[in-house]
A and B are shown apart, each in its own frame.
Chain A
Amino acid sequence: MPFTSAVITFPGSNCDRDMAVAMEEVCGGTVHRVWHGDATLPEGLDFIAVPGGFSYGDYLRSGAMAARSPIMQAVVEAAGRGVPVLGVCNGFQILTEAGLLPGALMRNAGIRFVCREVPLKVENSQSLFTQRYFKDQVITIPVAHHDGNYFADAETLDRLEGEGRVAFRYAEPVNGSQRDIAGVLNAAGNVLGMMPHPERMIEAAQGGTDGRKLFEGVLAGLNVSA
């Protein structure tokens, strides 16, 4: 079976095309574009991406409205069946609001929008998404967000660390995130949310290729042909 994936588009998403191109480029196969108002996902998905942007104009809270849209119920259900789900930036905010990942993403501690390349340390190199990296490897991936300040209570943070669910950590202060957390996994390891944009580091022309290995990992882990 060829690799089959989907990118969800909400009103206000703006990284959906970049995500689809990255998935096509690295994973191959078929990338379905799914609209937020759809109630069902295409059959037989190997991978779902919830992209960045400003879904619903960030009304109420970043990701809050998108998390309650019809398609997200289908995404939550698919995640429960073990389908890999990646949420980047606004996608991460949506996954926390939908309850797929713990914690919340608050306004950056410095108030300002942060848009630059940041060094990320790979904390867990055993997950589906991070298996092509080395533990403690420092990679460069861009961020572009206003609400990336990861918050969870100390007990939750301790649990995440203890269970190896911190996938990536900022190697320098970026947005005030608790313990510099940049990306977290769910308990089953098939859902990853992260603020940095791996889909923007796929080809040398983009300034680097450190994002490729994330998509390569997903492809390798699923044992399907590109």
Chain B
Amino acid sequence: MKVRVHVSLKNGVLDPQGRAIHHALEGLGFAGVKDVRAGRLFELDVADDTSDDALDDMCRKLLANMVIENYRIEKVAA
């Protein structure tokens, strides 16, 4: 089973990297970019019988830092 885990900063947490990327886009002449938030994407290939709880656990224990980040699990059709 292929699973994508999207990790992003929580609302209200300042994102210095996103801000720098935003400035860089403006510097390249792209107009109308209102905001940029940087995050991470993990692509996991896990056993088909992996439970939702186990996936949640993986995110909470390692893939995301719950102090500053949220995660979203997306199961990808084979």
Contacts and interface: CB of A to CB of B under 8 A. Distances in A.
A64 B62 contact: yes
Contacts of B63: 60
Contact of B62 (A60, A102, A152): A60
Contacts, number: 34
Nearest to A178: B14
B33 interface: no
Contact of A108 (B16, B61, B62, B68): B16
A149 B65 contact: no
Among the interface residues A96, A104, A149, which one has the most CB atoms of the partner chain B within 10 A?
A104
Interface range for A: 10 to 19
A151 interface: yes
A78 interface: no
A151 B13 contact: yes
A149 B16 contact: yes
Chain A interface secondary structure, helix, strand, loop or mixed? loop
B62 A106 contact: no
A109 B68 CA distance: 15
Nearest to A107: B16
Contact of A61 (B13, B16, B17, B65): B65
A107 B17 CA distance: 8
B25 interface: no
B31 interface: no
Nearest to A156: B67
Given A64-B65, A106-B68, A152-B67, 12 more contacts: A60-B63, A68-B61, A96-B67, A97-B65, A102-B67, A103-B67, A107-B16, A107-B17, A111-B17, A111-B20, A149-B16, A151-B13
Interface of A: 60-61, 64, 68, 96-97, 102-104, 106-111, 149, 151-152, 176
